[in-house]
């Protein structure tokens, strides 16, 4: 298992008239969080795409437990629990930094494709970076 | 069951460097779609909130089947399959207008709360609008 | 002069905790509005890009006069007042549909570039579509 | 004059199909940047709003010089050059961290209002925080 923690501060633009961080933005934070996980294992998602591999979403799920509010600092804990095969799954937890309350739990499942959107097997280079960091 | 169809055109701002509509935006479209469903049964979400009832998300799920692209016209089919109890569930399908291909399937589950975020039972007024439209 | 009017309904996701439509979203609406202006003259922005011409922003300006609120229907009046040269300028007004109050005035200035981001002169095809619609 | 520097990394969700960070997001970054400037002088924007003062935009302007790209680290230099009167003006520069190239120059002008949107004079508390930091 590979884990990573990313800190995010809720932006004003991310709030809605209910005073909560809007639910769509959580998925944007998860995207930042998995970008940081990949950077930490030494293979930034930018490099992954530059090498011709894309990770479009095939499924996204989030359970919203407590609202995140403007200016909150959030810790996003990301984990990769198994080697990617035809798909890659990541799990996320959002913890409010101040009181360590769990705000949300989520997962995303990604296809692995080449530049033309064709499904591919996980590239060796990608697998090696993961194996070295388990 | 209550159903509703909303048309959306993919905005340039909604695309990402993979050329796809970004996955977060689908949830924004679902929000538009359920807003229109409520408007069609005669009780706009704005009125629902003005009457003191809020529907914050407790879960969101989307399966991405084919990418939506810039300038695509999308039909979002929304359905409410059962009366709300402590929560309200809505199901969605995104169909590309041009060729009627299914692009995504999704659901959202909403709590029902008052202005202070306290869970409430579905208000009679809300239930009546639904019952009249089943 | 070429003019065009686009209607937009303010999305929940576009509101912020001040209850207003967030100021960043106005620029997204202007983007939709100029997309519709181009569609109306017969040369959709998608086709413009497919033909290898890009219109990245070089300047954006908006004056916010009255706030747009959730669920408001807005009319965005777009006008192209002069032929594009090295740049293209568009002017916008946002009118609230219900009472015809002016909410915002804006302009955007666009470069004209090829696929590689190199500045180009306005393509003949582009100019012709404009000239036919003045 | 008060100055502040905020670092932002361009999110994938912030890119568009032209491969650039979308022009709307720059204004979101400026919002983060002025939030940090206020935090640094000891009066976070959250506290400003909690104290009943709001700073809605009356004008926003950005000149886009070079595009910001996915995963770029940006330094946003914010400056408050004069005491707020009926309005408050902030200036911004975006510098790409890697090579110190200027990507954009911008300003925002804000009204000062109370909770009901009525214009107010700058509160003494607000002015004092600024004066102590000039």
A81: exposed, middle or buried (Cβ count in 10 Å: 0-12, 13-18, 19+): exposed
Residues in A whose CB is inside 8 Å of some CB of C read 12-13, 15-17, 19, 22, 24, 70
Q: Above pLDDT 70, what percent of chain C?
A: 100
Whether the CA torsion D5, A33, B74, C52 is positive or negative: it is positive
Q: Is the Cβ–Cβ distance between B15 and D25 less than 8 Å?
A: no
Question: What's the pLDDT score for residue B134?
Answer: 87
Task: Give the pLDDT confidence of A78-91 residue by residue, as tens digits.
Answer: 999 999 999 999 99
Touching subunits for chain A (3+ Cβ pairs under 8 A): B, C, D
Nearest CA-CA distance, residue D113 and chain C, Å: 11
Q: Give me the pLDDT at residue A53, please.
A: 97
Give every strand in the sheet of C2-9, ordered side by side. C2-9, C73-80, C87-96, C101-111, C57-64, D57-64, D101-111, D87-96, D73-80, D2-9
Tell me the chain C residues in contact with residue B9 when contact means C-beta distances shorter than 8 Å: 32
* Residue C111 in tokens: 């470069």
Give percent above pLDDT 90 in chain D: 99
pLDDT band for C43, please (50, 70, 90 cuts): very high
What is the mean predicted confidence (pLDDT) over D72-81?
A: 98
Is the pLDDT assigned to residue D15 strictly greater than 90?
yes
Condensed to tens digits (0 to 9), the pLDDT of residues C98-111 reads: 999 999 999 999 99
Per-residue confidence (pLDDT) for residue A115, from 0 to 100: 93
Q: Which of D20, D57, D62 sits opposite C60 (nearest CB)?
A: D62
Query: Which residues in D lie closer than 8 A to residue C31 (C-beta atoms)?
Result: 24
Residue A134 confidence (pLDDT)? 87
Give the residues across from D57 on adjacent strands.
D110
Model confidence band, residue D134 (pLDDT cutoffs 50, 70, 90): confident
CB contact under 8 A, B15 and D12: no
Q: Which residues of B72-97 are buried (b: 16+ CB within 10 A; e: fewer)?
A: bebbbbbbbeeebeeebbbbbbbbbe
Q: ipTM for the complex?
A: 0.96
Euclidean distance between CA atoms D54 and B25, whole angstroms = 29
- Tell me what the mean pLDDT of segment D91-106 comes to: 98
Distance CA C108, CA C28 (A): 11
pLDDT lower than 50: segments of chain A: none
Angle at alpha carbon of residue C42, lines to C40 and C44, rounded to 5°: 85
Rg of chain B over Cα atoms, rounded to whole angstroms, equals 15
Chain C hits for D18, Cβ within 8 Å: 54, 56
Per-residue pLDDT band for B33 (boundaries 50, 70, 90) equals very high
Shortest CA gap C72–chain A (Å): 14
Q: What pLDDT sits at residue D14? A: 98
CB-based contact C19:C66 (threshold 8 Å): no
Q: How far apart are CA A117 and CA B64, in angstroms?
A: 13
- pTM for this model (two decimals): 0.97
Q: What 8-state DSSP symbol labels residue D129?
A: H
Q: Residue-wise over C55-76: b if at least 16 C-beta within 10 A, else e?
A: bebbbbbbbbeebbebbbebbb
Residue B78 confidence class, pLDDT cut points 50, 70, 90: very high
Average pLDDT over residues B42-69: 97
Q: Which of B20, B28, B54 lies nearest to residue A24, judging by beta carbons?
A: B28
Residues in A closer than 8 angstroms to D71, CB to CB, are 35, 44-46
Do the chains contact at A13 and D28, CB–CB below 8 Å?
Answer: yes
Q: What digits encode the pLDDT tens for the residues B61-74?
A: 999 999 999 999 99
pLDDT for residue D45: 97
Three-class DSSP category at D81 = coil
* Mean of per-residue pLDDT scores for chain B: 97
Q: What is the mean pLDDT of residues C77-97?
A: 97
Q: Which of D18, D56, D63 sits opposite C59 (nearest CB)?
A: D63
Task: Please compute the mean of the pLDDT values over residues D39-43 and round it to a whole number.
Answer: 97
Q: What is the mean pLDDT of chain D?
A: 97
CA atoms within a 13 Å half-sphere pointing along the CA-CB vector of A91: 8
Name the band, by pLDDT with cuts 50, 70 and 90, for residue C134: confident
Q: CB–CB of C64/C29 below 8 Å? A: no
Chain B residues inside the 8 Å CB shell of D68 = none
- Least Cα separation, residue A24 to chain D (angstroms): 11
Domains (ranges, CATH) in chain B? 2-131 (3.10.129.10)
Q: Is the model's pLDDT at C35 over the cut of 90?
A: yes
């Amino acid at each position: 298992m590979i884990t990573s923690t990313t800190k995010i501060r809720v932006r004003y633009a991310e709030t809605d008239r209910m005073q909560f961080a809007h639910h769509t933005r959580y998925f944007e934070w998860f995207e930042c969080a998995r970008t940081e996980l990949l950077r930490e294992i030494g293979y930034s998602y930018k490099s992954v795409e530059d090498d011709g591999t894309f990770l479009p979403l095939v499924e996204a799920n989030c359970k919203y437990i407590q609202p995140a509010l403007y200016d909150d600092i959030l810790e996003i804990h990301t984990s990769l629990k198994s080697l990617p095969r035809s798909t890659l799954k990541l799990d996320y937890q959002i913890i409010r930094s101040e009181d360590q309350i769990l705000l949300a739990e989520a997962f995303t499942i990604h296809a692995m494709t080449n530049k033309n959107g064709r499904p591919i097997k996980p590239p060796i280079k990608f697998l090696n970076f993961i194996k070295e960091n388990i």
